């Protein structure tokens, strides 16, 4: 009876693996898109999701076919052993070395937890190895030979998965091929406030308060506490009003607020808590973006009177001359105007200035003197601005076709750049893109992609502005301000240091 069982055991194991692999392959094929998406979110195999999604299914079906042929059964068992070792080391790495535990199984195995799945795989390895030993003994193979061969297959299988893990992590973080990895539970909505209008924007934070400007009533500054329990507005009074303003805006940087309209070369400054603001700069510089560096210094983006290109500079009210331009900071690709368009933001903790291009996959980090410290890139593959520009007779540049917008909006905090992307990555759901904005997170002190998260629409309303603090992620969406509580999967990437405005 024992000999009879030993004789049939390899065949029983072979057909068990046939059922297992055929079932697993068909489960993946029936929902192939979901299988690819799940692999893309794997912390080990993200960069190779496209190749591996096909390879695993093909290998499983080939092994199943080998196991069904008597003359090839031993080869099939060795292949089954190697594949199950690969699956097992993959789960071991997931449980012990990954940042999070994803779900990448299908069919009945989806009901198993990762530990139970590990135990199941170890049992499968034991079955395959047992069947190999019995079959090799039946063929009178030297025991050292098949044990060394089995061990070699096991080592190669482990090494291959470990190599893919290390390589994938390097590609995802530094050489990403536009595969997003969505952070596991990075934040959760916990409070909201109805603002009564959709024309607000974030002006800044200070002393546990959030300050809002309003595009339609530009001299009204609204203060909301970070708990979203109180709201107060005040009308600011500027000392000189007789200017041809087009778009007045406000920025808050403790202990002051600044009022400006770069179309008119004027800047007002007032103390927080006081309504009156005085002119501190007039006819010093025209600008289309400005960031206060301190009470009398500003980083500005303007247009060169000589080349008509966009250019960054510093406006220092205590120096003569007051304006110093740095024409080589922004890289011209086509026209020097639209191709270098982007947004300048400041990290309130580090004081670094970041400039992110709208139409290409690059952002630059500068110090407070606008010295470039590093040039970094986003994970999409658009290295050159895809725009069509026409120059009119009067010298003005106009877009002659809609541009491909890569980056829409961004904010910096604690050496992280939160960038709202406008492009869909590999293996992503079109349905999700219609329902949410996607924010990609990058390190600003080195080339590293941290991960991404969704900010879901509220009805037809989409996120218009965002703000980050140590504990919360705030957005303006429609008539509401929404607060999300940040969780460690995101906050653990924050750098240490004293925040200026929380």
Q: Say what the pLDDT of residue 107 is.
A: 45
Same structural domain, 45 and 58: yes
Q: Which residues contact 445 (CB under 8 A, 6 or more apart)?
A: 365, 374, 415, 495
Residue closest to 204 by CA, chosen among 278, 267, 264, 272 = 272
Per-residue model confidence as pLDDT tens digits over 236-249 = 999 988 899 999 99
278 Cα distance to chain centroid: 41
Residues 59 and 107 in one domain: yes
Report how many domains make up the chain. Answer: 2
pLDDT score at 501: 43
Residues 128 and 182 occupy one common structural domain = no
The 10 Å Cβ neighbour count of residue 159 is: 12
DSSP 359-424: SSSEEEEE-TT--EEEEEE-SS---S---EEEE-TTS-EEEEE-----EEEEEEETTEEEEEE-S-
Residue range(s) defining the domain that contains residue 417: 178-196+330-501
Residue spans of the chain under pLDDT 70 = 1-5, 41, 43-44, 46-47, 98-112, 169-176, 391-397, 399-400, 497-502
CB–CB of 349/497 below 8 Å? yes
pLDDT score at 127: 93
- Could you tell me if 2 and 148 lie in one domain? yes
**Residues 111 and 192 occupy one common structural domain:** no
Same domain for 415 and 489?
A: yes
**Is residue 358 domain-resident?**
yes
Q: How far apart are CA 291 and CA 375, in angstroms?
A: 20
pLDDT tens digits for 381-435? Answer: 899 988 877 766 666 667 667 788 999 999 999 999 999 999 988 878 788 888 9
Q: Around Cβ 27, how many Cβ atoms within 10 Å?
A: 18
Residue 215 placed within a domain: no
The per-residue pLDDT for 502 is 47
Containing 310, the helix (H) or strand (E) segment is strand 310-316
- For tokens 């193979």, the residue is 141
3-state secondary structure of 263: coil
């Amino acid at each position: 009876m024992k000999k009879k069982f030993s004789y049939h055991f390899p065949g029983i194991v072979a057909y068990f693996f046939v059922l297992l692999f055929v079932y697993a392959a068909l489960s993946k094929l029936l929902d192939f898109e979901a299988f690819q998406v799940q692999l893309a979110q794997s912390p080990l195999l993200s960069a190779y999701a496209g190749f591996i999604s096909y390879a695993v299914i093909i290998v499983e079906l080939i092994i199943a076919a080998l196991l069904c042929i008597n003359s090839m059964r031993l080869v099939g068992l060795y292949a089954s052993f190697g594949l199950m070792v690969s699956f097992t080391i993959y789960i071991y790495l997931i449980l012990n070395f990954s940042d999070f535990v994803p779900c990448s199984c299908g069919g009945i195995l989806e009901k198993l937890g990762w530990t139970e799945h590990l135990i199941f795989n170890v049992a499968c390895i034991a079955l395959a190895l047992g069947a190999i030993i019995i079959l090799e003994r039946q063929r009178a193979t030297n025991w050292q030979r098949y044990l060394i061969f089995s061990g070699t297959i096991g080592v190669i299988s482990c090494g291959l998965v470990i190599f893919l893990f290390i390589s994938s992590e390097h590609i995802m973080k530094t050489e990403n091929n536009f595969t997003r990895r969505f952070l596991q539970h990075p934040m959760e909505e916990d409070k909201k406030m109805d603002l009564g209008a959709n024309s607000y924007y974030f002006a800044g934070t200070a002393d546990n308060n959030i300050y809002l400007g309003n595009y339609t009533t530009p001299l009204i500054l609204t203060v909301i506490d970070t708990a979203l329990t109180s709201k107060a507005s005040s009308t600011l009074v500027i000392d000189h009003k007789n200017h041809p303003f087009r778009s007045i805006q406000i920025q808050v940087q403790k202990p002051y607020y600044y009022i400006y309209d770069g179309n008119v070369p004027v800047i007002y400054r007032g103390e927080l808590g006081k309504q009156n603001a005085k002119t501190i700069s007039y006819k010093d510089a025209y600008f289309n973006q400005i960031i206060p560096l301190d009470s009398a210094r500003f980083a500005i983006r303007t247009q060169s009177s000589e080349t008509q290109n966009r250019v960054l500079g510093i406006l220092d009210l205590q120096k003569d001359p007051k304006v110093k331009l740095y024409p080589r900071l922004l890289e011209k690709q086509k026209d020097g105007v639209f191709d270098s368009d982007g947004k300048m933001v400041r990290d309130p903790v580090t004081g670094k200035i970041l400039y992110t291009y709208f139409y290409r996959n690059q952002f630059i980090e500068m110090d407070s003197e606008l010295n470039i410290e590093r040039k970094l890139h986003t994970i999409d593959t658009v290295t050159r601005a895809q725009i069509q520009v026409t120059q009119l007779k009067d010298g003005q540049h106009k877009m002659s076709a809609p541009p491909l917008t890569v980056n829409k909006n961004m904010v910096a905090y604690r050496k992280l750049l939160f960038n709202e992307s406008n492009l869909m990555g590999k293996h992503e759901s079109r349905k999700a893109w219609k329902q949410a904005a996607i924010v990609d997170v990058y390190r600003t002190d080195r080339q590293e992609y941290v991960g991404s998260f969704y900010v879901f629409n509220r009805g037809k309303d989409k996120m218009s502005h965002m703000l980050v603090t140590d504990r919360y992620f705030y957005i303006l969406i429609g008539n509401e301000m929404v607060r999300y509580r940040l969780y460690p999967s995101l906050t653990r990437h924050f750098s240490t240091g004293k925040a200026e405005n929380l």
